[in-house]
Amino acid sequence: MNTSCLLSLAFVALTAGGCRMSTPKAATPKAAVAESQTTAAPEAADTLSASGSAYLLCRRTDGGDEGQLLRRTAYVTAYDARRLTPMWVGWTLTAAHTDGPHERKGHKFYEDTDVPEPRALYSDIRESECGYQRGHMCPAADNKWSRQAQDESFLMTNICPQNGDLNGRDWKVLEDACRTWATRWGAVHIVCGPIYRRKRPRRVGPHRVAVPDAFFKVVLTGSGSDARCIGFVYDNVAGHKPMASYACSVDDVEERTGLDFFSALPDDVEAAIEARCDVDQWPV
């Protein structure tokens, strides 16, 4: 594994294995411990967000462009200037940040002037014109704890063209599950983003924003013997299937994306955790 992806967490390995169904452990996993972070918003004083931290950063293993790194109040992202979408978005969701007073209502999507032109605009992704919705990678519902975090979740560099049925159904189910896990275990560490299988993806809007073929999400939680991670891959199409049908190992997601996750862990720890896909350890 490439060890250039920097993390500040340390975990003890789980037993490696394939994707399987098993009886859930009786023990409740402990929340992973991260270094305290300084963030831009006053509400974020207790956050384990990616602002200023390195443990959510990813690196490419396929020789591709690393993108432009952007640090926000609640997440960090690498921007893909060729496709006008994020390559990946990483954030830590704590139990305290699964809810809050700053609702999605009233917030508007807006261009990110931190990236060069041409860049995606609100008008590039209109479902009535292109057939796709503006799909958040770091969800608005994960950012109700801070006005600034909520505003930044609507930056177009956190958005991909996403099938509306997927956005409102199966992908939303996974987002809801992440909030359930954060509430139950104290914190989950999440990286998600688009998958492009074709060299020439479909483009939409005047600025030709690339349409992903699929989306991935990897989730990490726990510490010591309870450390665990899991991956998910969703094709960018309509459908209604159980969440478990999208589950896979983090190793599988790495192979499909050319990205390296959690690789600052000792090699044996990383290998054991990332090879495992036990959906029963992720109850909802």
- Could you report the per-residue pLDDT of 129-165, keeping only the tens digit for each? 999 999 999 999 999 999 999 999 999 999 999 999 9
pTM given for the model = 0.83
CB atoms within 10 A of CB 154: 19
Find where tokens 């860049």 sit. 119
pLDDT of residue 264: 61
Closest among 243, 239, 245 to 165, alpha carbons compared: 239
Instruction: State phi, psi for 87 to the nearest 5 degrees.
Output: -80, -45
CB atoms within 10 A of CB 190: 26
Residues near 63 by Cβ (< 8 Å), separated by ≥ 6?
A: none
How long is the chain? Answer: 284
pLDDT of residue 262: 74
Query: For residue 63, what are its two tokens?
Result: 């020789």
Closest among 257, 250, 279 to 11, alpha carbons compared: 250
Low-confidence ranges of the chain (pLDDT < 70): 1-55, 223-225, 263-267
Measured between alpha carbons, how far is 214 from 237 in angstroms, rounded to an integer? 8
pLDDT of residue 225: 63
From 97, 102, 107, 136, active-site residue = 136
136 tagged catalytic: yes
